Structures are given as C-alpha cells and as structure tokens.
C-alpha cells in the first residue's frame, strides 16, 4: 500500500471575483465540516493571485491549503506584474503551481524557466506543483512518454523531495475539452513519469505525489483516482463548483 496521500487540488485559473472566491472556499470548508471527520484526502485551492489573502483567511482553521497559480523565478525586483514566491508565502500559500501548459504556451515558459521557478518556490518554503504533459500533436506522434521524460528531466529540481514537490501530468489536449486519456493510458504514463523521476531523485520518487489533470469531473474521478500511480487530481473547470469539487474528493473516500 502506498504511503502517498491523495491530493485534491483546484486550479481556479482566471475565474471569478472576490465574492465568488469567498463563497467557493467557504462552501468547500462547510462540506468538510458536515462530513464530520478528517477526510481521507488532502485539499488545495489555487485562487487568482489577488484573491489569495482573502481565501487564506477563510480557510485558515481548516485542512484546506492555498496555492498560487504561478510565481516568478526571482525573489524581488523590477518585474512588473509578476509575483515572487515569497509574496505568495506571505499571503498564506503553502503551494504554487509552476509550468502549467497555459503558462508554457502563452508565456513562453521553457523547462529551464520552470525549473528556476520550482527551485525558488522551494527556497521560499512553498511546495511546487510542477506541471508536465504532451500536446495533441505529440500524442498523435506517439511521443507522450518522451515529452514527459524530457519535462521531468528539465523542470524538476535535483533536490526535489516529497516534501517540496508534486508532479501534475496534464495532457494539453485533455484540458477543458471533456476528452481524457483512458485510465490504462494514464496509469502507464504515470508509471513512466515516476520512473523518470526516480532516475533523477532516486527512491524518493516513490513518495512524490503525481496528480492527473485534464477534464477531471465527478463522473470520471473514481476511475482515475483509484489507479496505483495516480495520487490526486489537479482540477480546473470542475473545481469552480463546490459540489463537483467535493464529489471528486468523495470518490477517494
């Protein structure tokens, strides 16, 4: 039996105003309360940057952790519009997502940049959720495993541990599309990702959580979350509804 706990993580992306963030985080906290005992999984929400402090205050005395959706690789300085991982930590975060495919595609983030972000996030005391995953063209060319291995090799810090790192496998073509790989494919890819991680950090790889992301919803959650090398989900659209987010978590109870 794996000692890895299941992590149910919501990436709210650029959605909602403060009132929505207040309602959503409050509703998730209320569901945990009603459940009446410590849920079997870990919870994380990643609100838009400007809502982090508000959400952090709401979930302060709950088991819900808060994360940023991105950070800069510099501690401080002339980087207009960017956010340092130290600022995220200061605002109440314990996690930060780095290398999401939307950052890689829309902001030209390379493995080198993602690596630097993960390293500084760790130094700042944040757990980095490092995202990897192939595009549709790469999938069609049979390159899924190669792409994931290259991204693990290039964007995971050499001193990554289960304490400071989570990996999220998110096939780009499955994000927001309603399409997903088969459970068999997800398990096979996660196994290869763990092997690539082991080549980099040794036996510690067995303790690192590897999340699946891409069109996770209540109806397919159990299928993915019961796979041996899937240790949680990074959820976009369905994390914006407390009922759906909770239903996905419930699939692990």
Q: Would you say 165 or 215 has its CB closer to ligand 13P?
A: 215
Long-range contacts of 100-108 (CB under 8 A, 24+ apart): 100/11, 100/69, 100/70, 100/131, 100/170, 101/131, 101/133, 101/170, 101/172, 101/175, 102/13, 102/175, 103/70, 104/131, 105/172
Output the smallest distance, CB 100 to ligand 13P, in A: 6
Could you say whether residue 213 binds ligand 13P (CB under 6 A)?
A: yes
Determine the Cα–Cα distance for residues 234 and 132; give it in Å rounded to an integer.
Answer: 12
Determine the Cα–Cα distance for residues 54 and 32; give it in Å rounded to an integer.
Answer: 19
Could you say whether residue 48 binds ligand 13P (CB under 6 A)?
A: no
User: Which residues between 93 and 132 bind ligand 13P (CB under 6 A)?
Assistant: 100
Catalytic residue among 100, 109, 119, 134: 100
Output the smallest distance, CB 236 to ligand 13P, in A: 2
Residues contacting 90, CB < 8 A, separation 6+:
none
Query: What is each CA distance from 222 to 34, 64, 159, 179, 233, in whole angstroms?
Result: 22, 21, 32, 16, 11
User: Which residues between 71 and 90 bind ligand 13P (CB under 6 A)?
Assistant: none
Q: Would you say 125 or 176 has its CB closer to ligand 13P?
A: 176
Could you say whether residue 197 binds ligand 13P (CB under 6 A)?
A: no
Output the smallest distance, CB 216 to ligand 13P, in A: 5
User: Which residues between 166 and 185 bind ligand 13P (CB under 6 A)?
Assistant: 170, 175-176
- Phi, psi values for residue 228, rounded to 5°: -60, -30
Position of minimal CB gap to ligand 13P: 236
* Residue 170 is a catalytic residue: yes
* Residue 190 is a catalytic residue: no
**Active-site residues: which are they?**
100, 170
Contacting residues toward ligand 13P, per CB under 6 A:
11, 100, 170, 175-176, 213-216, 234-238
């Amino acid at each position: 039996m794996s000692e890895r706990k299941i992590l149910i993580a919501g990436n709210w992306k650029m959605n909602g105003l403060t009132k929505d963030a207040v309602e959503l985080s409050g509703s998730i906290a209320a569901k945990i309360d009603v459940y009446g005992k410590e849920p079997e999984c870990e919870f994380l929400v990643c609100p838009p940057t400007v809502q982090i402090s508000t959400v952090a205050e709401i979930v302060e005395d709950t088991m819900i952790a808060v994360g940023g959706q991105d950070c800069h690789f510099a501690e401080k300085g002339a980087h207009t519009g960017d956010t340092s991982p130290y600022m995220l930590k200061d605002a109440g975060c314990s996690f930060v997502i780095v290398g999401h495919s939307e950052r890689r595609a829309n902001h030209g983030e390379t493995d080198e940049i993602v690596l630097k972000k993960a390293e500084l996030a760790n130094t700042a005391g944040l757990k980095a959720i490092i995202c990897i995953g192939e595009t549709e063209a790469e999938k069609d060319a049979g390159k899924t495993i190669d792409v994931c291995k290259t991204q693990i090799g290039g964007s995971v810090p050499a001193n990554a541990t289960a304490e400071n790192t989570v990996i999220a496998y998110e096939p780009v073509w499955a994000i927001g599309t309603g399409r997903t790989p088969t459970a068999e494919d997800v398990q096979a890819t996660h196994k290869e990702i763990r092997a690539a991680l082991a080549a980099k950090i040794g036996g510690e790889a067995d303790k690192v959580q590897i999340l699946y992301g891409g069109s996770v919803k209540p109806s397919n959650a159990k299928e993915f979350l019961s796979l041996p090398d899937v240790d949680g989900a990074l959820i976009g659209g369905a994390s914006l509804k407390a009922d759906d987010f909770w239903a996905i978590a419930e699939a692990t109870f």
